[in-house]
Amino acid sequence: MKHKPLFIVISAPSGCGKSTLIDMLLEEYHDIGYSISCTTREPRGTEENGIDYHFLSRERFEDLVREGAFMEHAEVHGNYYGTLKAPIVEVLNEGHSIILDIDVQGAAKVREYVRSLPNNNPLKIGYMDVFILPPSMEELRERLEKRGTDSPATIEKRMADAEGEIARQGEYMYKVTNDDLGMCYKRLCDLIDAVSGRM
Ligand code: ADP
Ligand code: 5GP
């Protein structure tokens, strides 16, 4: 049976398990793609152009802004980041779904953009946004510490940011708490299946 192609926007405070959950979804759902952002920052480590990001010059990025190619864009630590409209529309028109992993502020801009579209636009028809919640602030801190990728100062910053992000959870259509990973993943899959009519 054919199901509705979805434009799935997912946000979560850092350390909640968003990347883990998205990787699990992409592994299982071969018809769900991942939206690759554009950035003007330099690639780090093993990052590859067209996989981790589309790495663009400032000039090229600014041209694309002028052309209206971005659904949203922002300047973070002196570099531009943005989500292109065209690749997302293309995936949906092919009948596939796409996940956009974006912070609360970026998600708000995307939501505003989608709201401005006519009701018959595939982006609007397939739109859903999900906020992933930590079971508690103590557990969030523990996950950040166990992950071992952030300095104590960065962990403090992420914990402070998390408060503000969690305060905006009401902006999202759906909320899923990542308590037990397997159970949270199951709830996320059930939600996606129900919204797309995949049952
Ligand atoms: P995010 O992408 O939201 O920053 P990650 O996917 O990197 O978060 O997860 C943060 C850490 O927490 C990782 O070490 C991950 O293995 C772990 N983790 C994710 N989900 C759970 C869970 N439900 N229970 C315990 N640990 C988890
Ligand atoms: P990094 O350079 O570490 O990969 O990302 C830095 C920041 O840019 C992160 O907070 C990340 O969420 C944000 N970011 C990545 N892609 C996008 C995007 O497409 N749009 C916006 N607004 N922010 C992004």
pLDDT in tens, 27-73: 999 999 999 999 999 999 999 999 999 999 999 999 999 999 999 99
What residue ranges do the domains of the chain occupy? 7-35+95-196
Q: Which residues line ligand 2 (CB under 6 A)?
A: 37, 41, 72, 74, 76, 81-83, 102-103, 106
Q: What pLDDT score was predicted for residue 89?
A: 96
Q: Nearest residue CA, atom 19 of ligand 1?
A: 17
Ligand 1 centre to CA of 14 (Å) is 9
Which is more confident, 199 or 159?
159
Gap between the terminal Cα atoms of the chain: 9
Of 199, 198, 182, 162, nearest to 13 (Cα)? 162
- Strand pairing of 38-39 and 79-84? antiparallel
The label of the residue with tokens 């930590």 reads 134
Angle at 9 between CA 6 and CA 10, to 5 degrees: 130
pLDDT at residue 199 in the model: 67
**Residue bearing the CA closest to ligand 2, atom 10:** 103
Neighbours of 132 (CB within 10 A): 23
* H/E segment holding residue 131: strand 127-133
Q: CATH topology for 7-35+95-196?
A: Rossmann fold (3.40.50)
The Cα 113–Cα 36 span in angstroms is 18
- What is the Å distance from ligand 2's center to 83 Cα? 10
